Amino acid sequence: MSEIFAGKAFLVVTGASRGIGRAIAEKFASHLKNDSKVLLMARNLENLEKIADGMPRGLIILCKSVDFGQTTTKELQDALNDALRGEKPESFNQAIIVHCAAVVDYTRTANDLTDFSEWQTFFNVNMFSSAVLNGLFMKTFESSGVKKYVVNVCSYWGLTPDVYVSSYCAAKAAKDMFFKSFALENPDVSVLNYLPGLVDTEMLHDAYKKSKSEELVTRIKSALENNTVSTPEKTAECLVGVLKQQNYKSGDYVDFQKLNTV
């Protein structure tokens, strides 16, 4: 079995401008070999460029501003082509893609969600764009003999329902099932559904400030006060270790909280 960071890699990270996505991009980059290529994707180009500036100088990095709620197949394919910059896919030892882009609404009940366009945009970000980008990524490297790795950054809300987040629960559950099915169809690809734990991110603080669920707000407040939340850097480092060890069946969940005590 090849080691994920052993050779020249092509890495894609979505949602890379902040939080867990940013930490994963930075942590992975610190393990990549020189001349590896990194494609960072998110809406905030300025943040992406700042992150790229702090990465090892031996890497070739492209930052791409993408609105995953409105993106197209062509835009995503063009981003992959631009990152390759004429280099052949077979020149890489590993091709790694991390799906981390997400958006959450903490304020509305299921009965409030009656706008088709809002549903479309929401699922575009949280599910459809990942599925399309993943397919394009696989086609790019399908005949190259490159070892391929897929990481789907999951949420406990994809496993357990909750109030005021029904759209997010639905999208994350659909995304997880998609990657489980993808793993069955692609036994040559290493697929990991990674549960990152409760992490101190802007998204967590948004939930604390905006959620209409008193139970959720109380739970977050308690976790922050008792220092039982992880940092993005810690969960990203755990993910690196999991991928290096490969002690999981492709398509399975690996849960940060079951591997660590904060």
Whether residue 222 lies inside any domain: the answer is no
pLDDT score at 113: 97
Question: What span, in angstroms and rounded, lies between the C-alpha atoms of 196 and 180?
Answer: 17
pLDDT score at 201: 93
What digits encode the pLDDT tens for the residues 197-211? 999 999 999 999 999
Average pLDDT of the segment spanning 57-68: 97
Whether residue 57 lies inside any domain: the answer is yes
Q: Which tokens sit at 161?
A: 């329902």
**Sheet hosting strand 253-255, strand order edge to edge:** 60-65, 37-42, 9-14, 94-99, 147-153, 189-195, 253-255
Beta bridge partners of 165: none
pLDDT score at 1: 43
Kindly list the distances between the CA atom of residue 2 and the CA atoms of 30, 137, 181, in Å, as whole numbers in the listed order: 18, 19, 23
Whether residue 217 lies inside any domain: the answer is no
Whether residue 205 lies inside any domain: the answer is no
The crossing angle, in degrees rounded to 10, of helices 202-210 and 214-225 is 130
* Percent of the chain whose pLDDT exceeds 70: 98
Whether residue 208 lies inside any domain: the answer is no
Whether residue 4 lies inside any domain: the answer is no
DSSP-assigned letters across all residues of 116-176: HHHHHHHHIIIIIHHHHHHHHHHHHHTTS--EEEEEEE--GGGTS--TT-HHHHHHHHHHH
State which residues form the domain around 56: 9-198+231-257
Q: Give the start-end residues of each E strand in the chain.
A: 9-14, 37-42, 60-65, 94-99, 147-153, 189-195, 253-255
pLDDT of 43 > 50? The answer is yes
pLDDT score at 205: 92
CATH number of residue 126's parent domain: 3.40.50.720
pLDDT confidence bin for 86, thresholds 50/70/90: confident
The structural domain count of the chain equals: 1
pLDDT of 246 > 50? The answer is yes
Q: Which of 19-28, 61-70, 220-229 has the lowest mean pLDDT?
A: 220-229
Question: What span, in angstroms and rounded, lies between the C-alpha atoms of 132 and 71?
Answer: 10
Beta bridge partners of 62: 39
Whether residue 141 lies inside any domain: the answer is yes
* Percent of the chain whose pLDDT exceeds 90: 94
What digits encode the pLDDT tens for the residues 143-185? 878 999 999 999 999 999 999 999 999 999 999 999 999 999 9
Whether residue 156 lies inside any domain: the answer is yes
DSSP 196: -
